[in-house]
Amino acid sequence: MRLVAVGIVCAFLGLNASANAETVSLTIAQGALAGTQEDGILVFKDIPFAAAPVGPLRWRAPQPGPSWQGVRAADRFGDICPQPRVSWAPALPQNEDCLSLNVWTPDAQAKLPVMVWIYGGAFITGSSALPTYTGVDLAKHGVVVVSFNYRLGWLGFFNHPALAADAPNEAHGNYGLMDQIAALEWVKKNIASFGGDPDNVTIFGESAGGMSVNDLMASPRAKGLFNKAISESGLGLTSSPTAQASAEAATSFGARHDAPGDGELGLARLRALSVVDILADQAKLPSATIVSPMIDGQILTEEPGVAFARGEMAHVPYIAGSNSNESTLMAGIHMTPDSMLRAAGSALPTVRKVYEEDGPLTDDELGRQIFGDALFASGAQALSDFVVKSGEPAYVYQFAYVADALRGSVSGVGHGGELAYVFGLRGINPALASKATPADRAVIAQMQAYWTNFAKTGDPNGEGLPHWPTTSGAEPKTLFIGDDGTKAVDGFRKNQIMLSYAAWMKRTGQTPPN
């Protein structure tokens, strides 16, 4: 059912029906919702898209969401999925019962493009409730914005042998990725009630969320659930752990908790563990242990980059890019500039020669530049090339605009630094937001226009915007958003990017797209 006049609904529900009432209500298949308004945008939060993954549903594929009688309050975010506390994020309530989503819509009577956000956090932390991801400003551009929670860490990516016997007809291991697919299925079925077009859905995400976008592009289970994709700092050419490697780690986890092997008793003991115990064990993992989407044969059948190279990904328009100083992420993932130089091995002299075409670099700066190109810029370019080869348009960007208040005090745009320009200033530190200059706000307007134009038509270009051309392997073109303006650049860092691009193709046995 569509949104009904606020006054009528409020009167019917016995709510305040004054002219300034903030409560708005609508009904979906699961039941009635009472949301709020924010700056003219209708907001509905904490809508369960799947059953609570607790008890016997821990480490199971997401099950259908609950229905309810009466009116469900949808005026605040639900609990976030269990995760370690981090200094840079607010301490929000956590609960295994966390599979909920949020919707911002400018008009529940319309048929608008839909943008579904996937948060980052290394598949260990993150939530849709972070203030940064407030969808109001994007929704003002005439789109419906959706965000959701997905399971993280050991609770989201866990492939213990006992699980296959417990639910033999389900996929196993990639529970967090299955949550993402379940959220998209919910959107397909329900978003029309919020004024969204279920046949015009764009997925977009950053960091682990950008990786998730690429994973969903490659997943056979996600095809048909979205029509466009944006991967912000989503890597692209990194290896995915195998199901076997994940099973070995999960079996070791079980052994540490007196639940080895694949018997029912072992699984029961695992499901009886407290979240505190699981997070404590997870914190002891060696830094080399990857807790993330794995190649399981069903949700992911091969490395996403290989699926792209073979043309076996979703054939949809695509945006991918990175920031000018992604190396700010290095410490958080236990990497150093020196480790990047060591990884180059005997090829380091050749690599150094390419990077020092315009002058010598310190080892620290060389390692940081290699990190940004190898993990981020090369993947954005490569996957975009493969999309173009498949017959769809792809657009590559490099975000290098430093806010006026920060200029001179930071070196480039760090990992995640583009988010305030995509979502706007509502969710960032008010002290920083208050310092935004007209130039800063112009870049925000530009980024939001590119992103929402793309969601509407598959083409980010529009009136008043610098032209953003599609890219290709033969003639790579990148939209460079920098302090001196926004412009298309031919062959942006082509020689540096091709070092990692070529090494990946050699490792995987792929051929260039041209």
Task: Return the DSSP state at 110.
Answer: S
For residue 8, what are its two tokens?
């009528």
Please say if 415 is a catalytic residue: yes
Q: DSSP string spanning 192-246?
A: GGGTEEEEEEEEEEETHHHHHHHHHHH-GGGTTS-SEEEEES---SSPPPBHHHH
Residue among 147, 193, 207, 378 flagged as catalytic? 207
Q: DSSP string spanning 106-141?
A: S-TTS-EEEEEEE--STTTS--TT-GGG--HHHHTT
Cβ 450 vs Cβ 463: under 8 Å: no
**pLDDT attached to residue 264:** 77
pLDDT tens digits along 174-197: 999 999 999 999 999 999 999 999
Dihedral through CA 49, CA 187, CA 305, CA 302, nearest 10?
A: 50
Residue among 326, 378, 390, 392 flagged as catalytic? 326
Please say if 207 is a catalytic residue: yes
Contacts of 214 (CB under 8 A, 6+ apart): 231, 234, 235, 236, 304, 305, 308, 383
What integer is the mean pLDDT of 73-81? Answer: 97
Give dist(CA 131, CA 413) in Å, integer: 20
Domains assigned to the chain:
317-514 (3.40.50.1820)
Dihedral through CA 54, CA 57, CA 62, CA 64, nearest 10?
A: -90
β strands within 276-409, DSSP E: 318-323, 394-399
Please say if 22 is a catalytic residue: no
What integer is the mean pLDDT of 388-416? Answer: 95
Give dist(CA 84, CA 451) in Å, integer: 31
When pLDDT is cut at 50, 70 and 90, the band that residue 286 belongs to is confident
Cβ 123 vs Cβ 332: under 8 Å: no
Is the per-residue pLDDT at 513 higher than 90?
no
Mean pLDDT of the chain: 91
Give dist(CA 130, CA 132) in Å, integer: 5
Give dist(CA 22, CA 39) in Å, integer: 10
What integer is the mean pLDDT of 296-306? Answer: 94
More confident residue, 314 or 9: 314
- In total, the chain counts a number of residues equal to 514
Give dist(CA 133, CA 376) in Å, integer: 22
What integer is the mean pLDDT of 144-156? Answer: 97
When pLDDT is cut at 50, 70 and 90, the band that residue 289 belongs to is low
Is the per-residue pLDDT at 464 higher than 90?
yes
pLDDT tens digits along 474-486: 779 999 999 999 9
What integer is the mean pLDDT of 153-169? Answer: 90
Predicted TM-score (pTM) of this structure = 0.94
Give dist(CA 36, CA 172) in Å, integer: 38
Is the per-residue pLDDT at 261 higher than 80?
no
Handedness of CA 295, 301, 304, 305 (dihedral sign): positive
For residue 396, what are its two tokens?
């590559």
Residue among 240, 415, 418, 500 flagged as catalytic? 415
Give dist(CA 403, CA 485) in Å, integer: 12
Is the per-residue pLDDT at 445 higher than 60?
yes
**pLDDT attached to residue 2:** 33
